[in-house]
Amino acid sequence: MNICKIHENTSKCSVNNMECFMVLSTQAQKISIATLCGLFGTLCIFENSLVLYLIFSSPGTRRKPSYLFISSLALADILASIIFVCSFVNFHVFNEIDFSKETFLLQLGGVNTSFSASLSSLLLTALDRYISISRPSKYKLLMTRKRAWIALGVLWVTCATIASLPVLGWNCCTLNSTCSELFPFVDDNYLSSWICFIMVLLGCIVYAYTHVLRRAHQHVAYMEKHQVQVGKQSTRMRMDVMLAKTLVMVLTVLVLCWSPVLILMIYSIFARLSNRLRKVFAFCSTLCLLNSMVNPIIYALRSKELYSSLRMVFSRFRRWLKASEESPEAESTHKSSMIET
């Protein structure tokens, strides 16, 4: 039997023996994880699906590169929620281990692809805002819909390729190398490389938003100084400032939700994790779902276009409910009048 090695000072887990990675020991812990995953996952799917509907139901938003990137972010969050909740709950709550190494790595690759694409979509959105504020006069020439779709294609292919490396052979069982303490079959060197990839993405996003915030502050100061000039350029600048602040809120939530997971991942590479820390990691993983759930709420509250579209949807829904409630009464009134006649 092929044996996967983990750190020398930890117990060995065979390919067919996954119990050592099931860190939830009590029924209360399993119920808590299942509740969090079910709640966050359901809300995340509903909210992000609503965001996609609001964007693509309006010609004004679906044609803008900014909202194409936000659509990619929403799609990635939906896929991440579905794959993560199903695989995570199935493994940690129901203790289902009747699958092959390839099946597990394929599921893990789906989760990694979705979360990496989510973060990469946020990077493209940051770069879009960077170009919009740095070169407003050339923005429409530089950021076209064709280039936006090409960027999204490269993004998803790159994320899928990186996430597929373990199932293609870069795993500790195939290489007979050191396994991760957090993920079965995952090579420590691959985990280190994936963490570096995520950290580079975060660094680029922080750099882009630092510039965006500095320019946004300059725009606000300029508009306050020239209050009499209320033209098209001033409106454009106000929209850029609003969207920049919105995306910075998204980035803040992202960092707060992902920091505990990344810190524990990095710590696991250099030191042995106790059972308590591994349980903490399991619960911190649900924060990734929380991040995906909070993003659409920020869009609805901060984006005037999406908020207006949302109000129109609710208005149509209320009219439909009112019409459906009144129609039976109207029909009964019509029937009674016919009988009297």
Which DSSP state fits 303? -
How far is the C-alpha of 223 from the C-alpha of 74, rounded, in Å?
A: 33
Whether the full predicted model's pTM is greater than 0.85, yes or no, is: no
**Structure tokens given for 243:** 């969207």
What residue type is 308 in one-letter code?
S
C-alpha count within 13 angstroms, C-beta hemisphere, residue 320: 6
Per-residue pLDDT tens over the stretch 37-93: 999 999 999 999 999 998 888 877 888 888 899 999 999 999 999 999 998 888 888
- Determine which helix (DSSP H) or strand (DSSP E) holds 32, and give its type and residue range: helix 27-56
Q: How far from chain centre, in Å, is Cα 233?
A: 33
Per-residue pLDDT tens over the stretch 117-175: 998 998 898 888 888 877 888 888 888 899 999 999 999 999 999 999 999 989 888 88
**Domains of the chain with CATH codes:** 25-227+245-305 (1.20.1070.10)
